[in-house]
């Protein structure tokens, strides 16, 4: 009997790549047609366009420099701007493929497939690469490689020495790009605590032992959050100035968004309907004792609540949890997901202030939101926040509806 997941791994990876890349390029072209061929979604693309042209420079050890400068040496003229934009789409699509291989190695073929699909459709990565270029586009695949290699080295699977060397190389290159890799190192440290705990127990920890460890992990991260909240930017500012030549404190003074805490409506803006898969993903991760997934989610959430840039790690956490939910989909999963939708909407309708305070808030009134959904079917509105609605509702919404129908009926 034919099984979709029994196809060759390279063939599944190709499906993910084509879906992710064509989606991103299509959105880029729509944006260009509406706003002009030298328009931009975010302003930072112009700096990296300058790097490609040789006007600005980065460290030779920063992979971002080579990824931009090599095309800049081969291609001249205004078309280089579009090349930089489409290169961002290419890197983002390849990241989806890398996530597929990582989760396939760690959790199985179905989880790997859904991890790649979720990343391909998640609004946050799509908008980061939409007529834009960012060093985070280069940082995120390095973080994924670091998690993959460090996990292999810690778990003792495969060739630990080679995995350790690869993890160290990713760590060093990532630190040259930016401080996000330091957050990834913190996540691996927390996962290492779980491995030590598991060895002390001497067997697969019981449900109670795992629950106690999870509570301790949450408390530890809450303490970390309280510790770094007042001083994090002051601590990392000298490192940013030394490694990247960036004055973080100047950016803080002008209130750059990435250096502010995670906005109250960020979950809906970044993940839309994919957030409803998280409860079942949490349960599946706990049942499988996947504390790398929990370490990733809890630590990245604590970091994002201090600086919005930490949400890049939170994006990966949502991908991993949603992938675990979708790979283990059944009737119970559908019931849990539908219940999550009902609770979420009920809280938002009954007490919008409470919903916003606990990050449940939808940034638009539900009536206006529904009107925007209808409009997004007929009008290609790619101006923020319309891009979130278009990417989130049309893609995530389609998948959610199909999966809920299949699970319930």
* pLDDT tens-digit series, residues 130-161: 999 999 999 999 999 999 999 999 987 768 88
What per-residue confidence (pLDDT) applies to 244? 62
The CA distance from 285 to 262, in Å, is: 25
Contacts of 314 (CB under 8 A, 6+ apart): 262, 270, 297, 300, 301, 303, 304
Q: What pLDDT score was predicted for residue 150?
A: 94
Report, in this order, helix, strand and coil percent for the chain, each rounded to 5: 80, 0, 20
Tokens of 274: 């994919």
CB contact at 8 A, 66 and 52 = no
- What are the pLDDT digits (tens) for 293-315? 999 999 999 999 988 888 999 99
pTM listed for this prediction: 0.88
Residue 79 confidence (pLDDT) above 90: yes
Using one digit for the tens of pLDDT, what is the confidence trace for 274-292?
888 999 999 999 999 999 9
Q: Where are the domains of the chain?
A: 4-408
Structure confidence at residue 409 (pLDDT): 46
pLDDT in tens, 172-207: 999 888 888 989 999 999 999 999 999 898 778 889
Output phi, psi for 3, to 5 deg: -125, 130
Mean pLDDT for 33-62 is 90
Cis peptide before 385 (omega within 30 of 0): yes
């Amino acid at each position: 009997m034919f099984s979709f997941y029994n196809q060759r791994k390279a063939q599944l990876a190709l499906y993910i790549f084509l879906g992710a890349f064509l989606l991103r390029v299509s959105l880029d072209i729509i944006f260009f047609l509406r706003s002009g061929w030298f328009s931009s979604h975010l302003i930072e693309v112009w700096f990296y366009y300058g790097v490609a042209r040789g006007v600005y420079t980065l460290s030779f050890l920063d992979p971002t420099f080579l990824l931009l400068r090599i095309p800049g040496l081969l291609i001249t003229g205004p078309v280089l701007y579009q090349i930089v934009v489409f290169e961002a789409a290419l890197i983002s699509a390849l990241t989806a493929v890398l996530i597929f291989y990582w989760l396939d190695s760690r959790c199985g073929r179905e989880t790997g497939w859904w991890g790649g699909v979720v990343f391909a459709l998640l609004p946050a990565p799509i908008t980061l690469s939409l007529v834009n270029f960012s060093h985070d586009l280069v940082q995120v695949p390095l973080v994924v490689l670091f998690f993959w290699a460090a996990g292999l080295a810690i778990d003792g699977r495969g060739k630990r020495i080679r995995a350790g060397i690869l993890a160290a190389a990713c760590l060093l290159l990532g630190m040259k790009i930016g401080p996000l890799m330091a957050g990834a190192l913190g996540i691996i440290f927390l996962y290492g605590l779980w491995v030590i705990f598991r060895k002390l127990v001497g067997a697969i920890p019981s449900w109670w032992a795992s629950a106690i460890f999870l509570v301790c992990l949450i408390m530890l991260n809450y303490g970390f959050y309280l510790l770094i909240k007042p001083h994090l930017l002051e601590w990392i500012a000298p490192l940013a100035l030394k490694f990247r030549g960036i004055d973080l404190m100047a950016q803080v003074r002008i209130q750059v968004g990435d250096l502010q805490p995670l906005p109250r409506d960020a979950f809906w803006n970044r993940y839309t309907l994919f957030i409803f898969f998280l409860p079942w993903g949490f349960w599946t991760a706990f049942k499988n004792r996947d504390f790398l997934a929990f370490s990733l989610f809890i630590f990245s959430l604590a970091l994002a609540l201090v600086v919005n840039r930490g949400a890049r790690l939170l994006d990966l956490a949502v991908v991993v949890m949603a992938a675990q939910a979708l790979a283990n989909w059944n009737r119970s999963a559908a019931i849990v997901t539908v219940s999550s939708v009902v609770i979420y909407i009920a809280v938002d309708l009954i007490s919008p202030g409470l919903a916003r305070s606990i990050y449940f808030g939808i940034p638009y009134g539900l009536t206006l939101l529904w009107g925007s959904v209808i409009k997004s079917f007929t009008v290609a509105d790619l101006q923020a926040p319309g891009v979130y609605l278009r990417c989130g509702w049309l893609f995530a919404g389609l998948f959610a509806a199909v999966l809920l129908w299949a699970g319930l009926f």
